[in-house]
Structure 1
Amino acid sequence: MSKAAGRSVTIAPEKHQAHRSKGQRYFNSLVKQIENRRGWLAQWEAFTPVFQKRYVDELIPLKQASMDAQVKLVHRLDALHGDKNFNAIERRMISQLILELTQQLIGAHGDPMLKPIHDRHADTAYDRQAEVDMEGMKAMMREMLGDEFAEDLDTSSPEEFLKHASEKFDELRAHADAKARAREERRAKRKKTPKQLAADARKEAAQAEISQSVREVYRKLASALHPDREPDAEERTRKTALMQRVNEAYAKRNLLQLLELQLELEHIDQKTIDGISEERLNHYNSVLREQLGELDRELSDIGDRFRGTYGFPYGPLTIPERAMQDLDAELEHRQHMVREIEKDLHTFDDIKKTKTWLKALKRDRPF
């Protein structure tokens, strides 16, 4: 490997230069930020399978165990409710606990007795309350989207309702996008002023110069690495692999990778990098700024997919360690829940201890 391999493309002016120019400082800043984002992407790539294994092997079974423990608790509380040793206030507390637990567990756990237990302690049956909630959702959607929304929709099917609502939102969004495109097309067809035409011409010329700057770096590499011009079979194989890296970088307009390849292959040296003109630096900086934005979007997409897959709430997921900390906290919470429920189930074997437990619970929270 070349001694230049792995070196960062950074402008370091010669000693007699007191200060870097604004363009040089910006170039170095962009390079540093890009390398930073690359590091995060590499971390996510290595981290995700490790997280996935712990999630599947540890958290999913523990979630099931904690739900099973809560179902046991529901059944035990339901049995306690009928005990004549409890007064009306204590029975009301027990009913409230049963309702809170069953509302979370119905639909998530397969125990067929959860709904009947819920309905024994509720003013409104679970299915009837779901119908009322669905009607409320439908009314809200109708207000947002118009009276024509889902008039004949079967509100007993939440999945069908939500699917229909999502399709309607997509339809409205597409309609709004089409109107916006039509406005842009009408605006584009209007005769432009000389000032607007001059601005467009300058923008196109600047973009052409930027593209030309990237193309020049690519051409120099392609000329030096073209495998068809290499008679030695082993060297031709090496150049073919390098040329593939060059083509991939150019296809993505990955200027920094092209410059790194130049440095790695010793087609440029530090003095050449330090001597990049301000005009060329401006072109390079435009491309690097675009590359940085693409990396930020990629990281954002990774975060969104991660949240969607593993049920994380929206929030900062800049580094994988934070997600692993959240997983550790969730595991600890679930383990603690199972331990506490098992302890409570033993407590309920003694009426006096159960009354003390309810009394302590009443102090901690209103009923």
Structure 2
Amino acid sequence: MAASPIKALALSAASRSGSILSTEQEAFNALIRQIGRQRELLAAWEQAGGSFQKIYAAELVPLRLTASRLARELILKLDAHESHEELSASERQTISALVLRLLREFDSEALDAELKAIYNRHGSSDYDQEMALEVADMKAELEQMFGESLGEDVDLSSREELMRRARAKLAQQQAREAAKEETRARRKDEKASKAGRTKAGKSTESPLRKEKLQTELAQPLREIYRKLASALHPDREPDPQLRIRKTALMQSLNQAYAAQDLLRLLELQIELQQIDRDALHDIGDERLRQYNSLLRDQLAALEGEIRQTEAQFVHSYGLTASRDLAPDTLIASLRADMEEVKTSIDVMEDSLGKFSDLKVLKRWLKDEKKNIRASAVDS
């Protein structure tokens, strides 16, 4: 099996001169390995993300809708039986406790006027006022934790809106911290590389010098692009099948050049056999230094894209930001959530079956009263 382009780019010490790898050659190898791993991770996210979205929409969302419907039905049945003449005061209190527990677990954005009225009746308080106080307290705690405001426009009637805002804020902070860490690491690498080719002492770069460096970095990209464009131009290819292939490669070339994707340009060169590993090995350290600077920028952009993908998952699907997210665990985590909802559905369906027989209902309320007491002790 032929080596993949990215593996073919790796430099080895087996050059024509037999010398060991230079610092820039080692840095080049390390960078393409890192970029290769990040490419694989991004591709895994994209693949897992597509599967996750399909399962989420086709299976988890319907399950949650079923659970919400059953919870509403159970709340209405409990409320209707609360005034049953054959139930004791203790049993009625248990019914009220169950109603309040179910309503507190209910999605506040889906709570309509009828359910709020039931909450107010059983809780002897106003749902909207109580929710506003709860969300305001949660907002204050979260802002203290984040060290910054979540905004003055937060809907105080919705826990879900507050948590969406908090997840987005946490994702932003994590992205900023990761970017700072990457910048520090990149500067450290650049400083170490620079120390190897300059004398010790303070170094200052004028805007003119920075502009010159940017021009120097763009030069190798232009050189590679022009060579490849000349070789790939489909209008110069008489063979129809090769013209189709060259058209596709030309599109890939233009995309790589527009994205400043040095690694993809080098891969295309190898694919077209314009260079081989030995030829790349003989490139001088000065040119490799330019390559490495471009590759560091490319790696940082790729890592930023992955962070953005992870943050998008957290925000779009209401996941916990502290949850360990990885492409290979996404589906398993989703399946676990589905099993939890299925268990809740089974429990509610079983509970709804108790209302047809008063004796069965009384026994069930007795068991639920014990569960409520046990929960109160544990908390």
Q: Does 1:355 align with 2:366?
A: yes
CA RMSD of aligned residues (A): 3.9
> 1:19 offset after TM fit, Å?
4.3
1:20 alignment partner, SS class: coil
Q: Does 1:209 align with 2:223?
A: no
Separation (CA, whole Å) in 1 of partners of 2:77 and 2:136: 34
Residue 271 (structure 2) aligns with? 264
1:313 alignment partner, SS class: coil
Task: Give unpaired runs (5+ residues) of structure 1.
Answer: 166-194
Residue 288 (structure 2) aligns with? 281
For normalisation by structure 2, the TM-score amounts to: 0.72
Paired AA for residue 216 in structure 2: E
Q: Deviations over 1:68-119 (max 9, x none)?
A: 222233234334544565454x654542332232234365547653222211
Residue 175 (structure 1) aligns with? none
Separation (CA, whole Å) in 2 of partners of 1:333 and 1:36: 34
Paired AA for residue 362 in structure 1: R
Q: Does 1:364 align with 2:364?
A: no
Alpha-carbon contact 1:227-1:239 (below 8 Å) kept = yes
Alpha-carbon contact 1:81-1:91 (below 8 Å) kept = yes
Q: Deviations over 1:127-184 (max 9, x none)?
A: 444566789899999xx99xxx89xxxx9998xx99xx9xxxxxxxxxxxxxxxxxxx
Alpha-carbon contact 2:108-2:157 (below 8 Å) kept = no
Residue 322 (structure 1) aligns with? 329
Residue 96 (structure 2) aligns with? 95
> 1:302 offset after TM fit, Å?
1.8
Residue 301 (structure 1) aligns with? 308
Residue 68 (structure 2) aligns with? 67
> 1:196 offset after TM fit, Å?
8.9
Separation (CA, whole Å) in 1 of partners of 2:272 and 2:156: 67
Separation (CA, whole Å) in 2 of partners of 1:139 and 1:304: 23
1:113 alignment partner, SS class: helix
Alpha-carbon contact 2:100-2:119 (below 8 Å) kept = yes
When residues 18 and 99 of structure 1 are mapped into structure 2, their CA distance, relative to the original with a 3 A threshold, is farther
Residue 176 (structure 1) aligns with? none
Residue 78 (structure 2) aligns with? 77
Separation (CA, whole Å) in 1 of partners of 2:278 and 2:243: 29
Alpha-carbon contact 1:227-1:237 (below 8 Å) kept = yes
Q: Which deviates more, 205-214 or 342-351?
A: 342-351
Q: Which deviates more, 126-135 or 29-38?
A: 126-135
Q: Deviations over 1:13-63 (max 9, x none)?
A: 207857433222221121112112222222233333322221122111110
Alpha-carbon contact 1:5-1:264 (below 8 Å) kept = no
Alpha-carbon contact 1:5-1:265 (below 8 Å) kept = no
Identity, % of aligned positions: 37
Separation (CA, whole Å) in 1 of partners of 2:22 and 2:156: 68
Equivalent residues in 2 for 1:187-266, closer than 5 Å: 198-266=205-273
Separation (CA, whole Å) in 2 of partners of 1:44 and 1:209: 35
Alpha-carbon contact 1:4-1:265 (below 8 Å) kept = no
Paired AA for residue 358 in structure 1: K
Residue 118 (structure 1) aligns with? 119
Residue 10 (structure 1) aligns with? 10
When residues 74 and 304 of structure 1 are mapped into structure 2, their CA distance, relative to the original with a 3 A threshold, is same
2:311 alignment partner, SS class: helix
1:276 alignment partner, SS class: coil
Separation (CA, whole Å) in 1 of partners of 2:27 and 2:68: 54
Separation (CA, whole Å) in 1 of partners of 2:294 and 2:282: 18
Alpha-carbon contact 2:24-2:288 (below 8 Å) kept = yes
Alpha-carbon contact 2:70-2:345 (below 8 Å) kept = yes
Alpha-carbon contact 2:67-2:341 (below 8 Å) kept = yes
Residue 188 (structure 1) aligns with? none
Separation (CA, whole Å) in 2 of partners of 1:360 and 1:107: 24
Task: Give unpaired runs (5+ residues) of structure 2.
Answer: 166-201
> 1:259 offset after TM fit, Å?
0.3
Paired AA for residue 221 in structure 2: V
> 1:359 offset after TM fit, Å?
1.4
When residues 113 and 229 of structure 1 are mapped into structure 2, their CA distance, relative to the original with a 3 A threshold, is closer
> 1:250 offset after TM fit, Å?
0.9
> 1:292 offset after TM fit, Å?
0.9
Q: When the two structures are aligned, how many residues end up with a matched partner?
A: 326
Separation (CA, whole Å) in 1 of partners of 2:134 and 2:325: 37
Separation (CA, whole Å) in 1 of partners of 2:4 and 2:363: 75
2:342 alignment partner, SS class: helix
For normalisation by structure 1, the TM-score amounts to: 0.74
Residue 185 (structure 1) aligns with? none
Residue 26 (structure 1) aligns with? 27
> 1:237 offset after TM fit, Å?
4.0
Separation (CA, whole Å) in 2 of partners of 1:136 and 1:361: 25
Q: Deviations over 1:311-351 (max 9, x none)?
A: 22224665323221221111000001111222334456522
